[in-house]
Structure 1
Amino acid sequence: MGSLVIGCVLLAWLAAAPVAAAATTAHEIVAPKVLPASAWDHVKGTPGIVFGRTTPGIPDVQMICDVHCPYCARVYTQLVERRPALRVRWVPIAYFKPDSDRVAAAILAAPDPRAALDRNYRAYDHAARRGGYGDASADVLKLDASHAALKERWRGWGRFTPMVLVRAGDGTVLQAAGTSPAFLDPVLDRAGRSKQAYDAW
């Protein structure tokens, strides 16, 4: 009889385990990490490219990216298609491939950096795991020291790309925990334009 009771308890525990795992996963999806306010300023102090609304305003979303990162390309496409009005600032670092540094620098130095980054991610080669931007200047240019400094801090914040940072209406800096809409949307929905109009880019 005792073994039957133990067996029933074990079966009940096994049946509940997937539910508990699902609950944990759901919690992780909607629970962004809070970063110190200084994190926002470090990213803001590094050259980047703004997409979204053309009306004046301060982006409340910053994206630390690598030009060859496949997940960056995927999130870029998602945002362009699903949230075209969202004002997002893309800030490159270099780690994914040996020439990530040079290609990112060439994109920033392009006559139209927005068009260059757009081409890079829209023409992404998933088989080669490479961005689609090509330019002779990518052979000689390099990112500046501010990108290297940001990369050092990025390592302490989790070491992944794209790293999505959102500044909420109350100034809290949130870091999304994933790249699918299920992870991103709850964080992006909390982006609120800063009341500090003088805080120019």
Structure 2
Amino acid sequence: MRPRERIWQALAGGLLLLALAFWGIRPALAVPERTEAHPKLWEQLGQAHWIGQGHGPHILYMIFDPNCPYCHVLYDELEPMVQSAHLNLRFIVVGFLAPSSTGKAAAILQAKDPRAAIRENEKGFNMEHFGAIREVIPTPETDKILADNLKLLEESGRRIVPTLIYRDRQGKIQVIHGLLDKSGLQATLKQIR
């Protein structure tokens, strides 16, 4: 890499951190944190309001905020793996990272096709406005869903997105807070029962 490219890369990284700080977004954990959860959490997730993608036997929950850049990276990495890893990917949306997060989360939940709304949000994601979907005013029902989903995130142990939750091959409930690198994600997918 030439010196000029390194300077631009460092400048871009610094601007990203400033933008995240401005919006109050804490960076995902540098080293993702893995913990084991109580089986009760798995039962609660199954009863939660989730949006599904894929019909495979391997269930993976992803708790995300529409404005989370780390969730966006994880979404882009998971998207092509849903079929090949035989996933039943279940999105649980929360809205707390930025002032527009609640309205964008509501837009996803209240859409005629919530899965298509997630795709729209992620396809147009950028670091200026984060999630691309337009905000809407949440209905009382949507407010309750968002509050319940946030409570689930908190019960997972940390208020960090993205959060992945799955049952491993030994039947234990595993929680990962933070962004996995590609090899870590592939290794995790192989552990899902």
Within-5 A mapping of 1:130-169: 130-134=130-134, 138-141=136-139, 143-156=142-155, 157-169=157-169
Query: Offset at 1:104?
Result: 1.3
Contact 1:178 1:184 in 2 (8 A): no
- Matched residue count: 158
Deviating beyond 6 angstroms after TM superposition, the runs of 4 or more aligned structure 1 residues are none
1:65 aligns with 2:67: no
- In structure 2, give the amino acid aligned to 1:134: R
Distance change in 2, residues 1:164/1:178 (3 Å)? same
Within-5 A mapping of 1:181-192: 181-192=182-193
Within-5 A mapping of 1:35-184: 35-53=37-55, 60-84=59-83, 85-128=86-129, 130-134=130-134, 138-141=136-139, 143-156=142-155, 157-179=157-179, 180-184=181-185
Query: Offset at 1:34?
Result: 0.8
Going by fraction, where is strand more abundant, 1 or 2?
A: 2
What percent of counterpart residues are identical? 25
Query: Offset at 1:73?
Result: 0.9
Contact 1:65 1:161 in 2 (8 A): yes
Aligned-residue Cα RMSD (Å) equals 2.4
Query: Offset at 1:114?
Result: 0.9
Q: Gaps spanning 5+ residues in structure 2: where?
A: 1-30
Q: Please give the TM-score of this superposition, normalised by the length of structure 1.
A: 0.68
TM-superposition CA deviations, 1:26-69 (whole Å, max 9, x none): xx77x83111111122222221111123xxx6651001111111
Give the distance between the partners of 1:184 and 1:32, measured in 2 at CA: 12
Name the larger-Rg structure. 1
**Equivalent residue number for residue 12 of structure 1:** none
Distance change in 2, residues 1:110/1:149 (3 Å)? closer
